[in-house]
Amino acid sequence: MEQLSFFAESGQSKGLPKELLEYHAGFIDQRTSDELLQQFIRTTPWKQSTQIMWDKEYLTPRLTSWHGDPGTDYSVSGKISNPNPWTSELLMLKEKVEQATGIKFNSVLLNYYRDGNDSVAWHSDRESVLGRNPIIASVSFGQVRSFDIRNKADHKEHYSIKLEHGSFLLMKAGLQENWEHRVAKSTKPLKARVNLTFRVIV
């Protein structure tokens, strides 16, 4: 993956295990990021899905929207859904992410964290439709939130990275297999954040 050589040893990425994650601030310029954040919040067909935990159904604590090529179906709470179509903004970002990684993505999951009450709990993205050792490219807009990772075999081994407005995070092949990640809730008053994870559905 020669394309990734532009990733500088900048800022907070220093402690991160490079074989698992690469972080790049300022992947999208400030003005474009401001516009995209507002655009995504206003025009995305956001849904709040449900998840089953301990036999009870809960509302997922964030809004989501799945987009992709025809056929990149995904399942939420056991229901199969067709992808929403690509928009010009999503295609522009997809192209940038593909140039940076050398990987062709066919789908993207948008997450909308409205405030500090919204979150994603510890998980790894290991659905079988993602194939073995999936590579996931993540772009963030809006409120800076902490992205935590922990080793499944030893929770004491953990890292945290602040995902900034217009930043890019690459989750590499070993991450989903051996590590979990989350975006925790915060008791501080936080503003809106939109995150996009580009994926390859096989």
Ligand X SMILES: O=C(O)CCC(=O)C(=O)O
- Torsion angles phi and psi, residue 131, rounded to 5: 75, -175
Of the listed pieces 23-31, 60-68, 124-132, 142-150, which binds Fe ion according to CB under 5 A? Answer: 124-132
Contact with Fe ion (CB under 5 A) among 34, 115, 125, 148: 125
In the chain, alpha helices (H): 30-43, 88-101, 175-178
The answer to whether residue 195 forms part of the interface with ligand X (CB under 6 A) is yes
Q: Sheet holding 179-183: strands in order across?
A: 120-123, 179-183, 145-151, 154-163
Of ligand X, Fe ion, none, which one does residue 108 interact with (CB within 5 to 8 Å by kind)?
Answer: none
Closest chain position to ligand X (CB): 195
Contact with ligand X (CB under 6 A) among 24, 165, 172, 181: 181
What's the rounded Cα separation, in Å, for the pair 3 and 14?
A: 19
Least spacing, CB of residue 51 vs Fe ion, in Å: 13
The answer to whether residue 13 forms part of the interface with ligand X (CB under 6 A) is no
The answer to whether residue 183 forms part of the interface with ligand X (CB under 6 A) is yes
Angstrom distances, CA of residue 17 to CA of 94, 125, 145, 161: 25, 18, 19, 11
- Under the rule (CB under 5 A), what is the footprint of Fe ion? 125
